[in-house]
Each structure stands twice: as structure tokens, then as C-alpha cells.
Amino acid sequence: MALGSDPRSADVNLDPAALYLEETFTDRRIGTIRRLTPVKGDGSPDPARDVGYVGETQVMTPMGTLPIVFEIDAGSLAEAAKQFGALAKEAIERTVQELQELRRQASSSLVIPQGGLPPAGGLGGGGKIQLP
């Protein structure tokens, strides 16, 4: 859950009509599957909503481990486990592409001195360089 730029202004109340029982399954090697079973506010099963599956794995980067999370559209835990590998690979590839794009954008950003244009006589001193 992301609270945005100002967590004090965000709505941090749980919606009792959107609760799920979360169960975690793992092979203790590649990753985990979370089964999200919809429940009512009293904790009883809510058959009006579908069970959801979320896969999680990690990849090592020069900065440390990077969690990869993805939804699995499956009707059972066994089906979710069968789909895990292919969906994890797609999610990793998508994340790598997004990181490469962010790196490309950061490397092509302009450096703008604080305070606008320098005086006619030269740069002078005291300016701070900021990255956008």
C-alpha cells in the first residue's frame, strides 16, 4: 500500500467490505504464492468475490535484493504454481526494462543551476547544482 507524498493526508482506514484472508505458500527456493481469500467483516468467507493469487520472488542487483510481485490469474493453488515461473520471468523482464528506462531518463536529465541564469560576468560562486 502506498500512502503517497503526504501520509498524514491519506485515508489509512481498512475497508471492511474489501478484506481478505492471506495465506502464504512457498517452495523455500524460488518464491512464494499468496492466496487471498475474500472474507466478510466478521471473518467468514465471502463467496461473492473471487479468490486471488499473488506471486513473489526476488532478484539480486548491485544495490541488493529487489522484490518482484505479480498477480496470478488462476482458479486454484496448483494452477497458480504452474503459472508462477512464466509470470515471474515476465515480471522480472518488465522490471529490468523499467529500471533501464529510469536509468536512461536520469542520465539524460539536464543540470540546472539554482537561481536561474548566471550574471553576465561569469558564473561566480555559491551556486548549487540540483538534479531534477
* pLDDT, tens only, 17-52: 999 999 999 999 999 999 999 999 999 999 999 999
Looking at the whole model, is its pTM more than 0.85?
A: no
Judging by DSSP bridges, how do beta strands 32-39 and 64-72 pair with one another? unpaired
CA 41, 42, 43, 49 dihedral sign is negative
Cα separation, 53 vs 76, in Å, equals 9
Name the grid cell of 42: 466478521
* pLDDT, tens only, 70-122: 999 999 999 999 999 999 999 999 999 998 898 888 888 766 666 665 556 55
b/e string for 89-109 if b means 16 or more Cβ within 10 A? Answer: eebbeebeeeeeeeeeeeeee
Q: Select from 81, 75, 18 the least CA-distant residue to 49.
A: 18
Write down the residue that cell numbers 539524460 correspond to. Answer: 108
